[in-house]
Amino acid sequence: KQEVTQIPAALSVPEGENLVLNCSFTDSAIYNLQWFRQDPGKGLTSLLLIQSSQREQTSGRLNASLDKSSGRSTLYIAASQPGDSATYLCAVRAGSYQLTFGKGTKLSVIP
């Protein structure tokens, strides 16, 4: 059974810092990996989708990498802003149509 772990569970950084969020998964035979953002009490916003054949994807200040063989992905956020404060969720698709999610990393960017 696929398990997804996100470390750390919570992170607090001062505005302007670059930061990395980590995601690991147990079954490396994945089709793709997707990073989401979730604001309190809200739905999920898709940030980046990386197919299994890709190594990384970039969107603005966000860069996500994928190392399928080691079962790891990282989300890099450059020049963090208070508006980046949210919970970031990693999800993988392996062996079925389902996405398996981690519990998320709660990010606080302090002005």
Beta bridge partners of 75: 21, 64
CB 64 within 8 A of CB 89: no
CB of 46 to another protein, least distance (A): 6
Residue 96 engages another protein in binding (rule: CB under 8 A): yes
Which is closer to another protein, CB of 69 or CB of 96?
Answer: 96
Residue 71 engages another protein in binding (rule: CB under 8 A): no
Who's near 96: CB < 8 A, 6+ residues apart? none
**Chain contacts with another protein (rule: CB under 8 A):** 4, 31-32, 34, 36, 41-46, 49, 51, 89, 91, 93, 96-104
